[in-house]
Structures are given as C-alpha cells and as structure tokens.
Structure 1
Amino acid sequence: MMRVYLRVVNVPTFSKKLMNITGISEQWVAVRIKQKEDSKCILWKSLKYLILTHLDVRKRVDVFALSIYSLVVFPKALRHVAEAITNLFDLLDKRVTPILAILAETFRSLSACRKAGEGRFIGCAQLLLTWFHSHFGKVDKVSYLVFPENYSPLKEIVVTPRRDDISDERWMAILQNLQEQDIEWIAPLLLPDEILYRCGNFDWVPLLGIWGAVGNVPLLVLKQYRSR
C-alpha cells in the first residue's frame, strides 16, 4: 500500500506540529510523544488536560477538534492521537476537504475486515450509521425517511434521539440477510448528476486516505446495481 503523505525536506516534525496546534512548549510535547504500533502518537489524556486548562480559548477549540478527528473520524490507535491526523489537520486551514480521506479510510477498513473475516472497524462509526440509514431505509425496524429536496442526513441524525431498540445481534441479522430490493444504492436524497468513474485511461479512481490509498471502481458498482 502506498503512503499518501511522504516526508520531505522542511516538513515539520510531529512535535513541531503539535506545538503549532496546541501552543505548548517543545519540552512539554516531547516527553508525551510515544511510539504506538507503526506510528508516533500522543495520549488523548494529555490533550484532554489542555482542553480543560489552556488559557487560550482558540487553542482549546483547536485541540478539541484535533481530538475529535483522531478519536471519532480516524481512530487508528485507541485513546491516542496519531501523527497522520496532524498532517491532515494541518491542511484544514488551507480549505482541504477531509471527505475523500474519510471515504478512503472507510473503504479500506471495511475491506480489511472482510478479507480477514474478523477485526475492528477503524473509521467513523457515526458516519457509517448515517450511511446505513440513508441506503437501507426499507429494512424492517430501521427508520425509513421520506427525503425532501433540502434534506441532510447528518442534520437529521443529530436531532434524532439515539435508537437503542436495535441490538448488535439485530444489526448482524439485518446485514447478513439483505436482499437486493432492500438496498438503495443511490440514496434518495441525492439528485442524479455526473460522477467521476475514470482516472486517465483506467476505469477506477484512486482515493487518498490518511494511511494509504485505495482503488475505487464506481463503474463496476453501478453495473452491479443496474444503473445507467
């Protein structure tokens, strides 16, 4: 698997990036950086302390946002913030969207679990749940919504009380017994439009994620679901 972010000359170190984000001294940051699996990390508890005590309100918000990206959206190392997250976080002020990275990491993690036949999903479970409700609306006991033109699934899931009546076993039964007619491949809230399905002469689109790149083949998927 290729690496998306390559270290080149003049790229700030992990400690320097943390110093810029947190506004804390190099000594404080350096003693808290640990090696976790194959990447450098900092313990979430250290950032939690900054969120609660930092005198700069803007820095508190930045550290809190960094924690959300690491613990919820890209949770590779449990209870730790990985260096790759700071690489992406550093680009957000430059108006770089994280959407493609989220899609790539979701695809990569689900594919890895499927190939291994086991494993933990490493990605944003909340976004995956929103996708389930948007595409599996016909399944029994999963909420079905009629989508108005200005509907937003993310806004809907924020204001909807959490459903506790669907157990883990029930979700497993739903996913294992899905039929073709149960799935809306293109969510009803999406208006038909042009899609990107080719990269140069190749019938696939590379998606760049945080820890690597995956090949997405939307044309094959559309053929499987009898789309025009």
Structure 2
Amino acid sequence: MDISDMRRDFESDGLDRSALEANPVKQFEVWFEDARKAGILEPNAMSLATTGNDGVPDLRTVLLKYFDNQGFVFFTNYGSRKAAELDQNPNAALLFPWLGLNRQVILQGAVEKVSKSESLKYFASRPRGSQIGAWVSTQSQVITSRGLLEQKVAEIKRKFGDGDVPLPSFWGGYRVIPHRIEFWQGRPSRLHDRFEYLRQGDDWLIQRLQP
C-alpha cells in the first residue's frame, strides 16, 4: 500500500529561543500543561526505547508517573524485557508525541531504579485491580491462553482477600536522568523549530537544530 501522499503542513506560531525556560524540566512542565489543557489523550504516554547486549533496539509505550529535576519516572515489572535490557544497558530514550499540538519532546539519559520506598508509595496509590495485575503477570513471558491469566487473577484475589495488596519484590520504578532533551515544534514546509538542551555539569546548553 502506497501512502506517500499522506501529508499535512504543520501550522503553529513556532518556537523562539527567547521563549524557552533555562531549565528543560521547567520547559517540559510548561509544554506538558499545554498538552493536558488541549485535551491530548494520555499526555503522559511516552515511547520508551531500550537496547540490550544484542544491540537491537526495542520500543514500547509506558506512562510517565512523575518528573522533577532528578528525572522522569515510570513503573514496571523488574522481570520484563525492558527491565532485562536496562540491566544490560542502563540508558534509554523517551518520546512524547503531542502531535495534536504539532509538538514532540525527546529525552535521552541514564536509567536507575527508584528506591523501594518510592515504589511502595506509588504502588499503594494504584487501583486494587492494577495492584493485583502486577502480581499476576510474569511480564513478557509466553502464556498459552487468556484463561490461564484469569485463573491467576482469581488465585491472587483469594490469596489477599480483602486485605492490603503488598508491593511485589519484582515490581518497581525506574528514573530516566536526562543528559539531552529536545523540544520539537512543527512548522510549515517541514521547516520545524528544534531546540536541544545538553547537560553540562549543573547547567544546560541550549542550541537550535536544523529541521
């Protein structure tokens, strides 16, 4: 199927160096709030790219749960494919595709596990069904039927009854500590505005990139 004629021009007011915050995390917060106010579906959904020892890139969508100057945090099963790859190569890239605003944000950085207390605090805030789901799934492993998964759900529900669901030892958070963040604003004729922040010690270098 040839879809080469699918195209649209990106109409926007553009992005000026003078409009950027000195801190990229603050700039991200500004754009995140814009995405939320604009009604972008799941503005915290981000593509997470990892690479293991085999050098083959892997990609999936996960949800950002919080961010600050320390980094950008998501949660997952520590036995998953992404976790195995992060054990082998603790570096990742994130992409926020806010195309309804003709915007993208791209981050690259080192990855570390968050503390157990951070994981516990977030896990306790999850809906009970999601807590049970964390116990049920041996994430990324082969399963022969949906029925087996539902059987495991019933078993976990019986196990914990009406009591609190504890944090699984194999589940928790990762923090991506960016060394590079790019803000991409679509413009007509593919002459987009792109600015990257590069970490330099405690400071950030900001520079415009060609589209």
TM norm. shorter chain > 0.5:
no
TM-score band by shorter chain is: under 0.3
Higher strand share: 2
Task: Give the TM-score, by structure 1 length.
Answer: 0.23
Higher helix share: 1
Task: Give the TM-score, by structure 2 length.
Answer: 0.24
